[in-house]
Amino acid sequence: MATANKNLSNYDKNQLINAKDLKFGVVVSEWNDEITNGLYNGVLETLLDCGATTDNIIKWDVPGSFELIFGCKKMHETYQLDCVIAIGCVIEGETKHFDFVCEGVTQGIKDLNIKYDIPTIFCVLTDKNIQQSRDRSGGAHGNKGVEAAVAALKMIALNQ
């Protein structure tokens, strides 16, 4: 769990596989784009730092977090990839909509990991307020996009 006293986005790229020849799909929700763009930047910077090339990173935008499931599914079916990363942000409101979206996206990403032999990484913030999301997309608690990219590299290594 991220805390104010620890930035969980620190990593040692010498402990990770080189991403030079790997292909990545990244599906990004347009909803809460201040946050999802920050998460995407964390993913992109980390993958490039670990050897990936921009030509091997395909980015698709979808309207919201619920649409990440279909976007990731189509990404799996359209390209020969080593990994797909789903980026979204759902902020709790006054209704149960938050619960339904979070549960649906979580189960949908899980289902993609069962269906395809290529990992789908869950980079969806589910916070109580916008400040918590800011803190986790490049703020006080680092950037969960960085963590998603590191998880992607570790899962690709596991899958090889």
Q: Which residues are catalytically annotated?
A: 97
Half-sphere exposure of 54 (CA within 13 A, CB side): 2
Strands (E), the chain: 24-29, 57-62, 83-91, 120-127, 137-139, 142-143
Task: Compute the distance between CA of residue 40 and CA of residue 89 in angstroms, rounded to an integer.
Answer: 11
Distance CA 148, CA 79 (A): 20
The sign of the CA dihedral 104, 107, 148, 5 is positive
- Quick one: tokens of 43? 């993913």
Sheet holding 83-91, edge to edge: 57-62, 24-29, 83-91, 120-127
